[in-house]
Structure 1
Amino acid sequence: MSVTTKTIALHGGLLVLLFALQFVLPAYHHGNLARIMVLASYAVGYNILFGYTGLLSLGHALFFAAGMYGMSLTIQHLGFSAAPALLAGIAAGVVVSMALALLALRTAGVAFMIVTLMFAQAGYLTILYFGEYTRGDEGFVIQQAQRMLWGIDLSQPTNRYFAALSLFATCLLASLWLIRHPFGKTLVAIRENEERVRMLGYNTFAHKLGAMVISGTISAAAGASYGLLFGYAGASFASVQYSIFPLLWVLLGGAGTVLGPFIGTLFMFYLIDLSSGITTAYMLIAGVVLVLLTLFAPQGLTGELRARIWRWLP
C-alpha cells in the first residue's frame, strides 16, 4: 500500500469514525466531542504556524477572539444573520492576522513571542475597555433564533455536532493538502533552516506571512464557530490561557503532524475532565501527567508514533 493511500485511509477513517460516533455517544460525551472538534480546528491553525513553520506565537487568542467577536458583534449590534456573521468573523481574522504578521515578522525568536503576546494582551484589554459593546468578562449569550444557519438550528445537539465535524474535516484536510503542497514543504524547510531556504532564492518573508495569515484565518474560523455553536462570546477567550492552550495541545499531540492537534486536544480535554472528577486539585494531576509526557514522549503522542512505528505519518 502506497504512502498516499495509507494517509488517505487514516485521515478519512478518523472522519468516518467521528461521523459514526454521533449516533452512539451519550449526551455528555456527544457535547464534549463537538467542543473538542472546534478547539482542535483552532489547534490545527496554530500547528501550521508553530509545527510546520517553526514560529512560536504566544498571541493566537487574538485571532480566535477576532473571529468570535467579528461574528458575535455583527449579530448583536448590526443584526446580521448567522451566515454573514460567520463570514465577518473569518474576515476579521484575515485582517488581524495580516496586520500582526506585517509587524511581528520583522522580529524573530523570543522577540516574535513577546510581540505576539503583547498584541494579544492589547486585544484582550480592548475588549474589556469597550465593555459597553462587548460586555467584557461577563460576555453575552447568542440567542437560539440568531443561531440559525441556512435554516439549520445550530443550538440543536445533532446539528451542532455535524457543524463541528464539518469545520474540523475542512481544517484537517486543508492542513493535509497544505503540507503536501510545495508551499507547505517550503514552510517545513524554513523551519529547519531558513537561511539556506533564503539562499536558494525563496522569499521566506512572504512564505511566513502566508503561513501566519492562513493560521490566523483558521483560528478565527474556529473562534467564530465556537461562539455560534455554543451560543456565547466572552473576553476570557481572548486571555493568555487561550494562547497557551493551543500550544499545549499541539505539543502533546505532536507538533508538525496533521493528527497531532486533534489527539492533543482530545487528550488534554479528557485529562482535565477526569482529573476534576477525582479531586479539586485536578490541575496537579494534569500537571504531573504533562510532565511525564514531556519526559517520555518529547515529540508528542503522534510524533512518537511517527518516530517509532509509522514513519509515513504526515
Structure 2
Amino acid sequence: MSDISRIHLLHAAMVVALVICWFVLPVYHAGNLARIMVFAIYAMGYNLLFGYTGLLSLGHALFFGAGMYGLGLAMHLGGVFAGPGILAGLITALVVSGVVGFLALRTSGVAFMIVTLMFAQAGYLTVLLFGTYTRGDEGFVLPQATRALMGIDLSDAQNRYFAALILFGIVLFFIGWLVRTPFGRCLVAIRENEERARMLGYDITRHKLIAVILSGTISGLSGAAYCLLFGSAQAAFAAVPYSIFPLLYVLLGGMGTTIGPFVGTLFMFYLIDWSGGNMMVAGVVLVALALFAPTGILGEIRRRFTPWLP
C-alpha cells in the first residue's frame, strides 16, 4: 500500500471512529467531543501557518473572533439565517486575515509574533468598545429557533455533533490534500529554509500571505461554527489566551501533522477538565513534553515508528 493510500485510510478511519464515538460515549463526553472537533478545526488552521509554514502567530484569536462575531452579529442584529451567517463569518475572517497578513508580513521572526499579538489585542478591545452591539464581556446568545441549517436544528445534541464532525472531516481532508500539493510543499520548504526556497525562484511573500489568509479563514470558520452550534458569542474567545490555546494544541499533538491538532486538542481539553482548570498542571505537562517528546505526540510516533504519518 502506498503512503498516500495509507494517509487516506487513516483520515477515513478517524472520521469513522468519531461517528462510532457518538453511539458508545456517555452524553457528557459526546458533548465534549463536539466542542473538541470545533476547536480542532481552529488548531488545524493554526497548524497550517505554524506547523507547515513556520510562522509563529500569537494573534489567531482575532480570526476566531472575526468568524464568531461575523456570524453572530449577522444573525443577532442583521436577522439573517444560518447559511448566510456562516458566509458572513467566513468573509469577515478572510478580510481580517488578509489585512493582518499584508501588514504583519512586513516583519519577520519575533517582530511578526509581536505584531500579530497586538492585532489580536486590538480586536479584543474593539469588541469591548462596541459593546452596544457586541454586549462586551457579557456577549450574547443566539435564539434556539435561529440555529437551523437546511431545516436541521443545530441546537439538538446529535445534530450538533454530526454537524461538527462533517465540518471537521471536510477541513481534515482539505488540509491533507493541500499539504501534498506544490503549494503545500513550498510552505514546508519555507519553514525548513526560507532563503533556499527564495533562491529556487518561489515568491515567498505571496506564499506566506496565502498561508495567513487560509489559516485565518479556517480559524474563522471554527469561530463561526462554535457560535452557531453552541449558540453564543463572547469576548473571551477574542482575548489573548485563545491565541495561546491553538499553539498548545499543536505543540502537544505534533506540529506539521494533519491529525496532531485533534490529538493535542483532545489531550489539552481533558487535561484542563480533569485538573479543574488548573493551568499549572498543563504547564508541567508541557515542560515534560518539551523534554521527552519535543515534536509532540504524533510527531514522536512519526519519528520513531511510522515515517509515513501525515
The answer, yes or no, to whether TM exceeds 0.5 is yes
1:124 maps to: 124
2:298 is equivalent to residue 298 of structure 1: no
Aligned equivalents of 1:237, 1:289: Cα separation in 2: 24
Give 1:290 deviation, angstroms: 1.9
Aligned equivalents of 2:66, 2:163: Cα separation in 1: 20
Give 1:176 deviation, angstroms: 0.4
One-letter code of the match for 1:70? G
How many pairs align?
Answer: 310
Where 2:138 maps in the other structure, the secondary structure is: coil
Q: Deviations over 1:4-32 (max 9, x none)?
A: 12111111100000011111111100100
- Structure 1 consecutive aligned stretches of length 4 or more whose deviation exceeds 4 Å: none
Aligned equivalents of 2:191, 2:54: Cα separation in 1: 5
Aligned with 2:280 (options 259, 279, 284): 284
2:134 is equivalent to residue 134 of structure 1: yes
2:86 is equivalent to residue 86 of structure 1: yes
Q: Deviations over 1:238-278 (max 9, x none)?
A: 000100000000000000011110000000001111122xx
Where 2:185 maps in the other structure, the secondary structure is: helix
2:204 maps to: 204
Give 1:111 deviation, angstroms: 0.5
Aligned equivalents of 1:224, 1:216: Cα separation in 2: 12
Aligned equivalents of 1:59, 1:160: Cα separation in 2: 28
Give 1:34 deviation, angstroms: 0.2
2:104 maps to: 104
TM-score for both structures, normalised by structure 2: 0.99
Give 1:211 deviation, angstroms: 0.5
One-letter code of the match for 1:295? L
Give the gaps of 5 or more residues in structure 1. Answer: none
2:250 is equivalent to residue 250 of structure 1: yes
Q: Please, what is the CA RMSD of the aligned residues?
A: 0.8
Aligned equivalents of 1:151, 1:271: Cα separation in 2: 36
One-letter code of the match for 1:238? A
1:33 maps to: 33
One-letter code of the match for 2:285? V
Give 1:175 deviation, angstroms: 0.7
2:269 maps to: 269
Over the matched positions of the two proteins, sequence identity in percent amounts to: 65
Give the gaps of 5 or more residues in structure 2. Answer: none
Aligned equivalents of 1:287, 1:91: Cα separation in 2: 36
